[in-house]
Structure formats: C-alpha cells, structure tokens
Structure 1
C-alpha cells in the first residue's frame, strides 16, 4: 500500500524589513573589538573611494559637468561595495539598527554605544588613509591639480549653511541605506555590488553629504593647505591664505555635526523606521483579517 504524499508547507521568505532588522541587530551585539576593527576598515574603504573620486574628476577640463560628476560617483561607489562585500562596519549604514531598537531588541544605551564605537572606528580608518595619502604626495599628481581639486572640494563642503548641510546629509543617507536595503534581496556578491552603484553614484554626483567621507575629505584639504610646500601653491598660482577658512572648527561646526545628524535622520529614521512602521501596519492588517 503506497502512502499518499505529504503536502509540503510553503515557507515564505522573510521580508527585506525583517532582514534589515537582523542586519542592524547583529551590528549592535557584535563584540566591541570586532566592531572597532571592522569600523576601521570601513573608514579606510570610504577614504580610498574618495581618493578614486578625486583622481577621476581631476583635469576634466571642458567635459560636461554632469558626466564628470557621474564618473566620480561611480568611482566612489567602490567604497560601499568594499564595505558590503568584504564586510565592514560603516556608521551611515549602521544607523539602520534603529529597527532593532524599535523592536525593543536593544536598549538606547546599546544603540548609541554601537554608533559611537563605529563612528570612532571609521574616523581612525579614514585618518590612517589620510596620513598615507599625504606621505605618498598624491596632492602633487597632475602638476598639483589633484591637490587643488581636493582643496576646492573641502572648502566647498564647509560653506554650506547649517540646515543645508543637514538636508544634504538626510538625502545622502537615504540613498546609502536604500542601496544597502536592496542588497538584502540577493546573496550573490556581484548582484549586490551592482545594486549599490547607482544609489551611491546619485548621492555623490548630486553633492549630497556623507559624514564618514567628509572625515577624510575635509581633513585632507586642511592638511594640504597647512603642510604642502610653498612650491605647490606657487606652481598653481594660488596662495595658502586662500584656504584660511579650512579649519577643524569650521569643519566640525559647519559640516560634520549637521551632516551626521542628517545621516541619522535619513537612514535611521526615514528609511529604517519608515519601513518598520509600514511593516507593522501590514502585520496588524493581516491579524485583523484572520
């Protein structure tokens, strides 16, 4: 006598919101040493990506502005690819751990402690790359045009109004976190890398502000203005005094603080908590329908 086949039970895949919540939770509960080490790598990856951006956009001449920015944005996407594919802790994507806080899986102190640890680790990694870039004399590339480009980018960043910098930070991290969110849909490394390219290219080419990238970019401009030899400025026909406003105080007050807060709102609140609220509403409607 043959047995009738047992009907299989369909197991639905977890939603991207659930995967994002697991992603954020894993970041918060990770050991401090591991988290710090991975955060340092992330800071270094983002710094290297900005080196790529400066190189690609230097000496563009009369090339169309938009296409130059697009090329730079695609180059910069290398940074988030390295973070996601190689495994690293980047502050701007770590803010998605707000979902775990909303689910009451982590406390406020755990959440803020994780953010502070990752931010500091990113700073250390970016600073290490800054020292190496200066030692390598990269600012002298293309007869000093590379360094001039870096100075111009850094100076531009500290001239935003406070609320403008905040808004640019919000817009930036919406795209960063949406890019990371899309990668939850695939386990294939190549697919995940491709999914990250356009969101990153858009935020970079549009001039949105990324706090960790700025931890490298603006101090790089400050260091060039402060430590580059006189011959560097003479060859370019400029003066170091033209960049007197490139100071750490101006950077922190006019850029880093508002951009960091904007990054938290854009990624942690609008994307993270926004999708979490939609997921909660969906779950409630399903319960009411049963």
Structure 2
C-alpha cells in the first residue's frame, strides 16, 4: 500500500524485507568489491576507535561523561560504514536472516563473513599503522598513547567467557543500529538511528571485534607488552560473541517474527 508521507520511516515488517534484499546483494558482491569495501569498513571503525581514544585520554572528564562522550564519538565508525558505504563483519551478521529464509546459501554467508572479517582486519591494522606513523599518540602530552595502551591491555586480559558475552551484547546493539538505520529515508534518519545504540555499547564497555583489530596493533606498535596469543584469544572470543549476538539474537529473532510467523499472521504490528 502506498504511503501518504514518503518521509515516514519504514515499519519493522518493511525493514525485514529490506534486510532480505540487503542480504542477497551483499552475498552476490564480486570478491574484489567485497574485499575493498571490507578494508574501508575496518579503517572507518578504526577512525571511530581513534576518536574514542582521544576522549579517553582526557583525565579531567568523569567516568560516565567520558564513556558517553567517547561512545558518541565512536559512532563515527558505523555512520561512515552506513552512509559512505562499506562492508562490516559485525553488521553483516544480519545475513543470517537471508540464510534462514533460503535466499542466501550457507556458502555465500560464510564467504561473505570470512572475506569481510579478514578485509576489516587489514583496514583496521592499516589505519593503526598510519596513526602510529603520524605521531597522533603523542597528543595530550602522550596521554593519547597511554590511553591506547591501557585500553588494549585491559582487552588482552579479559577472561574468554567475559570477552564472549561482551561480544554478544555489543553486536546486539550494533545490529540493532544497522536494522534501525534501514528504517530511515535520509542521512539524518540513519545517523540518529545509529548514534544511540553505538553510544550505549561503547559506554557499557562491550567488545567489538573490529575495533579491537585497531587497538591491539596500535598498542603493540607503541610498545605494549601484548603477545600474539593474547590477541588471538581475545579476537576469537569476541568474534564468536559478535556472531552469536548479531546473527542469533537479532537476525534470527526478527526472521521468526516478521518473515516466518509474519507470513501466517498478517495482523502482526508493523
């Protein structure tokens, strides 16, 4: 049914349909395009992490103010991914909806996730190297560098189970941000949909695998005593948590509500 107001947000049922279309398009991207867009997304998330670190280096801010303002600044990463266009592993966990509906194969989903995750790593690590070479860590009397090292050290010391569940909670909020951004018809709509969930996950201290791919290399370049085993343990735990949070608790839940059950229950809201 046509809308009376073309500027109205898409309803939840319509978002589910848009996510299915988004799944098919992403699953069919050529390898070169997928890889290059993945590198961009890794760099974009790294830019958000860089802005968060700048705020975290200001010791005059109170705990809550620093976390909230840092989270707001970190939102830059997903805004760039969504508005400028890029392929982010955590957001692409929504492909599980297309897989559940049968419009995307298991092979296509795994191809997308593996290629994008590796490309995100290249982009985030590459940005970390550029930031290190730029001397950015020397800002605030070296406070920015100390903040990077402190953040990375805390992540490296997280127990596996804690890192996993922080990853779950993080990607529930990231995928909700992507889901709500798909309800918007303008850049302003998309930015507003993204900012609150992303600010929330950062302020709460949850774990985003791609952000960690920026923090660890930069901290190691700055001399942090972090071993490869610490990095692998954290990333494996957080990636698994991100997958569970985004694909199961968001994509599959909404698939059941709006696609599987929705086909039989047209009276559902939205």
Equivalent position of 1:235 in the other structure: none
Equivalent position of 2:6 in the other structure: none
Whether the 8 Å contact between 1:41 and 1:125 is mirrored in structure 2 is yes
Equivalent position of 2:182 in the other structure: 184
Give the alignment's TM-score, normalised by structure 2: 0.92
1:266 aligns with 2:245: yes
Equivalent position of 1:80 in the other structure: 78
Q: 1:101 aligns with which of 99, 111, 132?
A: 99
Q: Deviations over 1:96-123 (max 9, x none)?
A: 0011111111221111011111111111
Equivalent position of 1:68 in the other structure: 66
Equivalent position of 2:41 in the other structure: 42
1:1-290 equivalence runs, <5 A: 10-11=1-2, 15-61=14-60, 63-225=61-223, 243-244=224-225, 246-253=226-233, 255-279=234-258, 280-286=260-266
Give the drift of 1:183.
1.1
Give the drift of 1:187.
1.6
Q: Distance in 2 between matches of 1:275 and 1:286?
A: 15
Q: CA RMSD in A?
A: 1.5
Unmatched 5+ stretches in structure 1: 1-9, 226-242
Whether the 8 Å contact between 1:219 and 1:248 is mirrored in structure 2 is no
Deviates more, 1:12-21 or 1:69-78: 12-21
Q: Distance in 2 between matches of 1:83 and 1:101?
A: 23
Deviates more, 1:278-287 or 1:173-182: 278-287
Give the drift of 1:151.
0.4
Whether the 8 Å contact between 2:23 and 2:104 is mirrored in structure 1 is no
Equivalent position SS for 1:91: coil
Deviates more, 1:212-221 or 1:14-23: 14-23
Give the drift of 1:59.
2.2
Give the drift of 1:52.
0.8
Give the drift of 1:60.
2.4
Q: Distance in 2 between matches of 1:110 and 1:278?
A: 24
Pair member with larger Rg: 1
Q: Deviations over 1:143-164 (max 9, x none)?
A: 2111111100000001111111
Q: How many residues align?
A: 258
Unmatched 5+ stretches in structure 2: 4-9
Divergent runs of 4+, >4 A = 11-14
Q: Distance in 2 between matches of 1:187 and 1:152?
A: 40
Q: Distance in 2 between matches of 1:191 and 1:285?
A: 29
